[in-house]
Amino acid sequence: MSPFKGQTGLKRVLNAAGYSLDGLRAAFTGEAAFRQLVLLNAVLIPVALLLDVSRVERALMVAVCLLALIVELLNSAVEAAIDRISLDLHPLSKTAKDMGSAAQLVALTLIASVWALILLG
């Protein structure tokens, strides 16, 4: 059993919330791509809330925007872990980072596709 897994109950929840806030803070201060996505979300989500679309369509429009933030957080985590292991150029490191970048491309394509299908559909 890991010594880092010792907390239970409310203490565990509070610790997890703190770690999550630390992660969001690190992403916002250290990752330009995350800040750009936050700005994109700050524009798109209010627009989605104001559009005359169904509740399901609105939920999808917001969800895909938030999904891109999630993918960027995971992509940044992969990059940080790879850089922590070694800053040396290695084909597996490049592959891992490229896959994270590809995941973000798919997430951004999903935003464009969902919004286009709803607004033009």
Contact 45, 67 (CB under 8 A): no
- Reading the block at residue 97, the tokens are 């980072």
72 is in an annotated binding site: yes
> Is 68 in a helix, a strand, or coil?
helix
Considering the candidates 57, 72, 75, 111, report the single residue annotated as catalytic.
Answer: 72
35 is in an annotated binding site: no
55 is in an annotated binding site: no
Q: Using alpha carbons only, how large is the chain's radius of gyration in Å?
A: 18
31 is in an annotated binding site: yes
Contact 99, 81 (CB under 8 A): no
C-alpha closest to that of 28 among 65, 61, 69: 69
Residues 6+ apart with CB under 8 A from 110: 64, 67, 68
93 is in an annotated binding site: no
Catalytic annotation on 72?
A: yes
Q: Tell me the binding residues for ATP.
A: 12, 19, 31, 79, 97-98
For the annotated binding site for a divalent metal cation, the residues are 31, 79
Catalytic positions are 72
Report the binding-site residues.
Answer: 12, 19, 31, 58, 72, 79, 97-98, 101
